[in-house]
Amino acid sequence: MDFKDVMTARRAVNFFDPDRDVPQADLEAMLETAVRAPSGFNLQPWKVAVLRDPARKAKLRALAWDQPKVTEAPVVLMFLADTQAWKVYEPSFERQFSYLVETGRFKPEERDAFIAAVQGIYGETPEKALAFGVKNTAFLAMTFMYAAADAGYVTHPMDGFDHDGVRAAFGIPDRFWIPLLMAVGHLKPGVAVAPAKWRFSPDDILYTLPE
């Protein structure tokens, strides 16, 4: 599908066909595309929890404003933003620095300079660490939605849920913030996709900085 067609086709769909599954191979293919999303310093501070079990989805639905799509969609993804992936000795940090050395971008003796750069951007305050995890995970989630639309699936990103309740109910460690949940599946038969909503024009969003 042409990229502009993907952009046009993607919708936040509320009604899912509960009888049509998302095969694991398809889900993994979409995730493989999604991980090509941009990532600061290529640290990739994200995880994705996959919920298929009806009982677990029902537990999640109770914490997500009782949205029917949580249990109707065959798959619900929980996107987890890792606020600590920038830290020294974390797998993301170590793998990236090793890659930089292997590819000649850094020398082993420049490790301290890399540490300083990463910590200065992402680790100076809890707010920066949170922003680091959330914005990168949002890139992943958006790229996944485009990949899903291209593969013929529909999605719905959700931020209407009890964050702390979900964290407690599913044992999510404190290092992760949960930016969004996402229902994934097929459109329910007989339901028409709503027309695209209005968007601001480029003129509306261009901002002129003061002199």
Decide: 96 and 41 in contact? Cβ < 8 Å. yes
> 3-state DSSP call for residue 47?
strand
Q: Round to whole Å and give the CA distance between 106 and 100.
A: 5
Residue 1 has pLDDT above 80, yes or no: no
Residue 84 has pLDDT above 80, yes or no: yes
What is the residue extent of each domain of the chain?
3-205
Q: What is the pLDDT of residue 11?
A: 85
Residue 193 has pLDDT above 90, yes or no: no
Percent of the chain surpassing pLDDT 70: 100
Average pLDDT over residues 186-203: 91
Average pLDDT over residues 131-136: 97
Q: Where are the beta strands (DSSP E) in the chain?
A: 46-51, 75-82, 154-158, 176-185
Output the pTM of the full model. Answer: 0.93
Half-sphere exposure (Cβ direction) of 124: Cα atoms closer than 13 Å: 5
Q: Report the range of poorest mean pLDDT among 4-18, 61-75, 83-97, 148-162.
A: 4-18
Average pLDDT for the chain:
95
Residue 204: count of CB within 10 angstroms of its CB? 8
Residue 187 has pLDDT above 80, yes or no: yes
Q: Round to whole Å and give the CA distance between 78 and 51.
A: 8
pLDDT range class, residue 78, cuts 50, 70, 90: very high
CATH superfamily name and code, 3-205 = NADH Oxidase (3.40.109.10)
